[in-house]
Amino acid sequence: MSILLAGGAGYIGSHTAVAMIDAGFDVVIADNLYNSNAAVNDRIEEITGTRPKFYECDIRDKAFVDRIFGENEIETVIHFAGLKAVGESVTMPLQYYRNNLDTTLTLLEEMEKNNVKNFVFSSSATVYGEESPYPYRETMKKGSCSNPYGWTKSMIEQILTDAAAANRDLSVVLLRYFNPIGAHESGLIGEDPMGIPNNLMPFISQVAVGKRDHLTVFGGDYDTPDGTCRRDYLHVMDLAEGHVKAAEYAASHSGTEIFNLGTGTPYSVLEIISAFERNSGVRIPYEIGERRDGDLPEFWADAAKAEQELGWRAKRGIDEMCRDSWNWQSKNPMGYRG
């Protein structure tokens, strides 16, 4: 039996492929390479000794997805295939709704047709919205999102919950990620954003290798211990290992279950800068700038449910996260392109 990683050539999918292969699963990746590079398959093979089966295709293409299910004994689908740039989603909302919702609907319809029962979804802490008190718990009501990207996650959660309620054979696991950073310890795979990075750690890493001259810290006057925002950063390999547990859980349960994947400990932007400097030996020039629209002052996970029910707990700390981010970026200053 195989696992289909839809969008598996991307940042989190490629690390999950490694964790899945290490755990003994057969991995099939399907990705249109919109935000990734086919070279990732060579790197996964170099790390694990196993080359995942790879299809270059759009997950919205029903005939192609049908073919993938026809050619492989897929037991579980993990759905990473989404557009994820928050700012871009505000200017291109229709593309975000079309891509993120259609990929989900196509997978669900083709799974039903091909009798595939287990679905794990890449959701986000963003669905808790600004109304929820932190730490966020899975039992809280979802809130309102500040951008179309977040709404696609919230809507897809609803679609999957409704599909599982109507089809008792379907098992859905909704994984609400907090802030994944870091890279595989080999430095062979990592986060490789196109253009100017939106997220903190890739921006810091690009400053460190000299691609950008300084970091702008978005706001220094929040009501937090040092005035900068706090987030629950987690190592992408811990997150990847969470998917192994989630896939095993999905295969032995039915209905819909939600899990936060975070560490439960927040760090501020200034703490991240200082941890990165400590672990890379490189100074990060920065200035305090304006707040970014839509940013919340702070939030972090209550990670107890994942520990109790999945047997998963983040093992790697902030130093390892920064060290591995730097290891990847310094070995691959141009990402997969150079």
Binding string, residues 34-63; x marks residues near ligand NAD by CB under 6 A: xxx---------------------xxx---
Q: Beta strands of 107-238 (E only): which ranges?
A: 118-124, 171-177, 179-181, 215-218, 230-231, 233-235
The partner residues of 121 in beta bridges, in order of sequence, read 79, 174
Catalytic residue among 11, 128, 149, 233: 149
Helix axes 39-48, 11-22, angle to 10 degrees: 30
Peptide bond into 285 cis (omega under 30): no
Stretch that binds ligand NAD, among 27-35, 201-209, 211-219, 272-280 (CB under 6 A): 27-35
State the binding partner of 78 from ligand UD1, ligand NAD, none, CB within 5 to 8 A by kind.
Answer: none
Helix extents (H) in the chain = 11-22, 39-48, 62-71, 86-91, 93-114, 148-166, 200-208, 236-251, 269-280, 304-305, 318-331
Binding string, residues 46-85; x marks residues near ligand UD1 by CB under 6 A: --------------------------------------x-
Binding string, residues 90-129; x marks residues near ligand NAD by CB under 6 A: ---------x---x------------------x-x-----
Show contacts with ligand NAD in window 293-332 (CB under 6 A). none
How far, rounded to the nearest angstrom, does the alpha carbon of residue 65 sit from its chain's CA centroid?
Answer: 22
Q: Is 275 in the site for ligand UD1 (CB under 6 A)?
A: no
Q: How far is the CB of 65 from ligand NAD (least distance, A)?
A: 9
CB-closest chain residue to ligand UD1: 229
Answer for the pair 122, 80: CB distance below 8 angstroms, yes or no: yes
∠ CA 221-227-232, rounded to 5°? 125
Q: Is 269 in the site for ligand UD1 (CB under 6 A)?
A: yes
# residues near ligand UD1 by CB under 6 A: 21
Q: How far is the CB of 189 from ligand UD1 (least distance, A)?
A: 18
Say whether 249 is catalytic: no
Q: Is 198 in the site for ligand UD1 (CB under 6 A)?
A: yes
Q: What is the DSSP letter of 290?
A: P
Calculate Rg over the CA atoms of the chain: 19
Cβ closer to ligand UD1: 87 or 311? 87
Q: Is 217 in the site for ligand UD1 (CB under 6 A)?
A: yes
Half-sphere exposure in the Cβ direction for 110 (13 Å, CA): 24
Q: How far is the CB of 93 from ligand NAD (least distance, A)?
A: 15
Q: How many residues does the chain have?
A: 338
303/266 Cα distance (integer angstroms): 12
| Site of interaction with ligand UD1 (CB under 6 A) | 84, 86, 124, 126, 149-150, 179, 198-200, 203, 215-218, 229, 231, 269, 292, 294-295
Which residues does the annotation mark as catalytic?
Answer: 149
Binding residues vs ligand NAD (CB under 6 A) = 7, 9-13, 31-36, 58-60, 80-82, 84, 99, 103, 122, 124, 177, 179-180
